[in-house]
Every structure is written in C-alpha cells, then in structure tokens.
Chain A
Amino acid sequence: MIEVVKDQEEVETFGLMPRAMHAVASALGPGSGRWFIVAGGIIIGFIVVMSLLAPLISPYDPTTLFVGPDNSPPNAKFPLGTDQYGRDMLSRIIWGGRFMLTVAVMAVLLCLAIGVPIGLASAYRGGTVDKVVSLVMDSMYAFPSLVLAIVIIGVFGVNAINEAIAIAVVYVPSYYRVIRSQVLTIKELPYVEGAKSIGSKSRHILGSYILPNILPSVVVVATINFADSILTTAGLDFIGLGRLDLPDWGVDLYYGRAALPIGAWWIILFSGTMIVLSALGFGLISEGLAERRGRE
C-alpha cells in the first residue's frame, strides 16, 4: 500500500469509495485467512439482519409478560420456551442483540473519533507530549475494562451512551498503541521524508500517507473492539448494571441465573449462545484480517 505520489492532485482524486471497495475485495479474495473472514462475516451479517428485521419477524412482543405459561421448555407454540415471567424466548432472542450492537457501534465510533487523532498526533509530534500521552495510555491499558465500566455505569447511570463511553475509555489505549507503533515506523520511511522535503503540510502527510497505511491495523483493532464491547455489555448486564427493561441477551442471563436450580436451561442456553456467536463472528473476522496482513 505504498503509493508514490507524483503530484498532490493524484492522491486527492484517489477516492475513498474505490479504495474501500478494493479493500473489501481483497479481504474476500483468495489467500490465507479468507475462511475466517467469510465465516465471521456471515455470522455477523445474520445477526445484524435479524436485529434489523426484529419488529417484522418476532412472533411476540419480547417484553410482554405471560404471553404463555411461565418456565415452559421449548415446545411447538414457543420454540425456545418461556422464561420465569412467561415471556417468549424466541422473541427475546430476535430482539436481544439490538442494544448490544448499538452500544458496540457507538463505542467503536467513539474510539475511532478519539483514538485515531490522538494516536496520529502524539506519535507524529513526538517529544514530551508523546511521552506524557504514552504514560497515560499505558496506565489505562493494563486496567481491567470491566472495573472501569462498572464504576462509570454505576455512577452515571445505565444507558447506551454511557456504556459506549465506558467501553471507549478503556479501549482507546489499544488503538493508541497500535497506531503509534505503526506511525513511528512509517514516519521514518523515505517517502515521508520526501514529502516533507517538498514542503507538504503535516496534516497532508498524516492524511494522505500515514493514515491510509495504518487503516488495516486499525480495522483489526476495531473488530476486536466490537467483540469486547459485546462481552462487556453482557458482563454489565449480568452484574445488574444493565437495561433490565429491554430485551437483551445479557439480561436474559441475569434473570436466567435464578432459573438454574430448577434446571430451566432454555432461558440460559440460547441467549448465551447468541452472545458467543456475536463475539465469535467479530473474533473470526479479526483473526482472518490479522492473518492476511501477517502473510504479506
């Protein structure tokens, strides 16, 4: 992905769309890691579509109590059974991913909006600023994400944006690290030196040379970010810091715990499996992408 620029216009007109399409095409093309990306993509695609179509395909309203008998195992009328409050599990499964996915998307966007500029600026500038920011980021990097999330949610209340913020706060250091190590390498490369010598502005260098080259690794981090975000949301739900009023796979597990002694496995298994699938899907994509890059 090294582009020798003959004049500035050439780079500017190299639009974002064709580049994005090229990236997707090469991700799906033959080569190592392809299976992972495709499999992960199918899983995530399925979940996203299911979540989007929920109002249309869900047999019952997932929050209505006692549409059926309580604690009934899977049967013809309720294919995935009902929970302690008589709610249809199938409907809850279909609706259950929306909140988590929303939070995940918000978290990733926040991370990108905050982490990428900070990483680029700090690594490119260097000097004391870089050292201080690195110190701050290193301190936060080692801290368990769940603890910080618990504190933020516990203090500021449970809603999607707070969860997204909590997850973003913990994840920005990961983006920072990856971006920084890449920028440090790239900024020493001859073509950057060349650009500087013809008087290109820093902003231009960062935008046209460095940014496109760090994007692949940022995408890898973003996919892991998605996966971790889903798991963190689930974790918060389980502790009791979730939106108990919404249909959500993690909340199902929170309630499902009480059902354990009576052996009502259907309240737990399906919701848990959906969480695993979501995290798995993103995990597979991330592994596939990483493998591709490694095999260059």
Chain B
Amino acid sequence: MTLRTYILTRIALTLPMLLFLLSLVFLVMRILPGNPVLLRFEKNANPALIAEYTHRLGLDLPLWQQYVNYLTGLLHGNLGQSMVTFDPVANQILSRFPATLELTIGAFIVAAVVGLVFGSTAARRAGGKTDGTVKVYGILIYAFPIFFLGMMLQLVFGIWLRWLPIAGRMPAGLIPAGLNLGSVHIQTGLYTVDSLLAGNIREFFQAIEYLLLPCLTLGLVISGVFVRMTRSNMLETMKMEFVTAARARGLKDDTVVYGYALRNALLPIVTIMGLQFALLLGGAILTETEFNILGVGSYLVDRINFRDYTAVQGTVVFLAILISMVSLLVDVIYAYLDPRIRL
C-alpha cells in the first residue's frame, strides 16, 4: 500500500468515528437531559429568565436544526457559547490550550524516557529480579492517582524542602513576551518557547521550574504504561534473528540491546506511545487542577462546576477532535518513517 493510499484510507476512517463521537456528545448534552438551561437553574428561577436564556443560546430551535447548526458551526471553528458569560468557547479554549500543550509534551518526554530506559533494561534481564522490579514499578506507579502523587511531591519539594514552586506556570502573573519581528508579534503561549524567543534566559528557567513538578507527576504515572509497552515490545524484538546474529558476531551485550534491538523497536514503541495521547489528556485534567495551571483540562473542570453545560460541550468536542487529529498524525508519520514503505 502506498503512503498516499494509506493516508486517504486513514482519513476516511477517522471521519465517521469523529462524527459518531460528536453526535454522542450532542446526545448526552442536549437530548438526554432535556434543556440544559433548566438543568442549570433547576426550575427555581423565574420562567421568563429561563425562556430568555434558552432563546439566546438557540436552544429553542427544533432539534434537527440545532444538530445541523452544531455541525456546521464546528466547521467554522465555532464551539458554542458559554451559558454563563455568553463568550465564545473557542476563544477561551484557544487561550488556554498552550498551557495544556506544554504540560502534555513535558510529561510525554518524562514518561517516554523512563519507559524506554526501564522497559529495555527489564527486557534485557527478562525473568530476573530487575525485570520483576520493573514490572511491579509499572503497576505501582500507575496505581497512583495523579493528584495524590502531585500532592505528595508538592508537600515534599514545595512545602518541606521549598525547592520548587507548587502551583502556576510563572511567578506572580509574569508572562514571557515572545518575539517582535517588525509588525508581527510571535507569541506561542508556550512559556518555555516564548521566553527563549524573547531572549530572556532567566524567564526560561523559571518556566522550567514551574513545569517540573506537574510534568514529573503526570509523566511518572503515565510511565507505568510506557514501561510495560516498551518491555513487551523489546522482548519480541530481542527474539528476532538479527539480534541472535549480532550476538553471534561477538558484539557486546550493550551494543546488541541498544544498537540493534532498541533501534529497531524504537519507532513502533514511540508510535504506540504517541497514540496514548488520550491518556495524557485525561491525566492533564487532574494535573492542571492540582497545580492550578490554566489549561483546557482545568477549564473543563471549572465549567462543569459552574454547570456551564454549553461550554462543557464545546470543550469535549474540542478534545475529541484534537485526539482524532493527533492519532491520525502519528499514524501517518509512522507510515512515512517505516523503511518498508519509505524506500
């Protein structure tokens, strides 16, 4: 199958799945509970107010029309309005997305590194004590609720040792400026990137400082999954003949494990890790809440506590689309890099 065919097939598969998810969200948020406005005010408020809200949010339109508006709105990047402030949800999410992105990327790096190192070491000494320990580590660390690990780390490193900050992304509302190129202002919202763009090294390290605990928390818990993935993948790879052949040439064990087995297994392993993006996002919700990071995850929590159902709907839709796109991208990149398809 050529790369092009693969991409097209993959996209063709993603669309119905995405449509199904979006419809499911619509179903859960609009149809099943009835009128979200009613749900919010719980029949206490004055009927005229409810009627006005309902009208302003377009909830008095016939269902099929709401559904069509919903889908067409999405094509224009409209994720709905907040029931509380009537602000467009999309704006809120976009302003908070970079925080989530920074967190998930940082956590991914932690999880991937720990996963690869522990997983390949365990596979190498399969059946032995190291292997057993690593297996237990994988199960144990994943059993930690993310916020519990977060709290313990905050307690130890933030409150008792005072080495690291326990909340937020930067000291006291400081925001890295980004870069000005003539009339164009580049600001990604990723504080690490922006501070480098602005040439402010001090801010860069501050941003890292604040990222350390959250990324470690989320990254370590997720590493439990990655460790097991790496281990099982490496075990399979080490059984392959080119590994035995390399050993037969008298190459050192390190060379064989890392230069032959891991090098070959790396691409599939990292790909599978990339496909676990949903796992990272789910964890990000809890991490952001715990560390007071203003990201999409904490936005969701925030909005649900305010009973802002339309905003919740918009956020869930955003997440569904995001996850589908990331999975698609990872699959395509893998297909592109796989030497069997590439050359």
Contacts and interface: CB of A to CB of B under 8 A. Distances in A.
Would A and B touch once assembled, by the CB under 8 A criterion? yes
Contacts of A250: 145
B278 interface: yes
Interface in B65-94: none
A187 B140 CA distance: 37
Among B20, B21, B147, B285, chain A packs the most CB atoms within 10 A around the CB of: B147
Interface string B313-328: 0001001100110010
Among A140, A238, A256, A283, chain B packs the most CB atoms within 10 A around the CB of: A238
Contacts of A283: 139-140, 142-143
B312 A146 contact: no
A139 interface: yes
A49 to B, nearest CB: 20
Nearest to A271: B148
A147 B145 contact: no
B265 interface: no
Nearest to B142: A283
A275 B147 CA distance: 11
Interface in A266-296: 268-269, 272, 275-280, 283-284, 287
A186 B287 CA distance: 43
B286 to A, nearest CB: 6
Contact of A272 (B29, B142, B152): B152
B319 A241 contact: no
A287 B142 contact: no
Contacts of A276: 140, 143-145, 148
Given A147-B319, A260-B154, A279-B143, A155 B28 contact: yes
A138 B160 contact: no
Given A261-B159, A263-B155, A283-B142, A154 B304 contact: yes
Interface stretch (A79-87, A122-130, A227-235): A227-235
A250 B136 CA distance: 23
A3 B69 CA distance: 57
A239 B301 CA distance: 7
Interface in B128-145: 135-136, 139-140, 142-145
B151 interface: yes
B142 A268 contact: no
Interface in A152-173: 152, 154-156
A179 interface: no
Among B17, B146, B324, B327, chain A packs the most CB atoms within 10 A around the CB of: B17
A150 B300 contact: yes
A240 B151 contact: no
A250 B286 CA distance: 13
A145 interface: yes
A146 B282 contact: yes
B279 interface: yes
B25 interface: yes
B281 interface: yes
A268 B148 contact: yes
A142 B159 contact: no
A225 to B, nearest CB: 14
B304 A142 contact: no
Interface in B259-295: 275, 278-279, 281-282, 285-286, 289-290
A143 B320 contact: yes
Given A250-B145, A257-B290, A144 B282 contact: yes
B339 interface: no
Nearest to A240: B305
A97 to B, nearest CB: 14
Contacts of A140: 21, 24
A136 B27 CA distance: 15
Contact of B17 (A138, A240, A241): A138
Contacts of A280: 139-140, 143
Given A135-B16, A156-B33, A280-B139, A260 B155 contact: yes
Interface of B: 13, 16-18, 20-21, 24-25, 28-29, 32-33, 39, 135-136, 139-140, 142-148, 151-152, 154-155, 159-160, 166, 275, 278-279, 281-282, 285-286, 289-290, 300-301, 304-305, 307, 309, 312, 316, 319-320, 323-324, 327
Given A239-B301, A276-B140, 6 more contacts: A142-B327, A143-B320, A144-B279, A150-B301, A239-B305, A268-B148
24 contacts: A142-B327, A143-B319, A146-B282, A146-B286, A147-B300, A147-B316, A151-B28, A154-B312, A156-B32, A235-B146, A238-B290, A239-B285, A253-B145, A257-B290, A263-B155, A268-B152, A268-B155, A272-B144, A272-B148, A275-B145, A279-B142, A283-B142, A287-B135, A287-B139
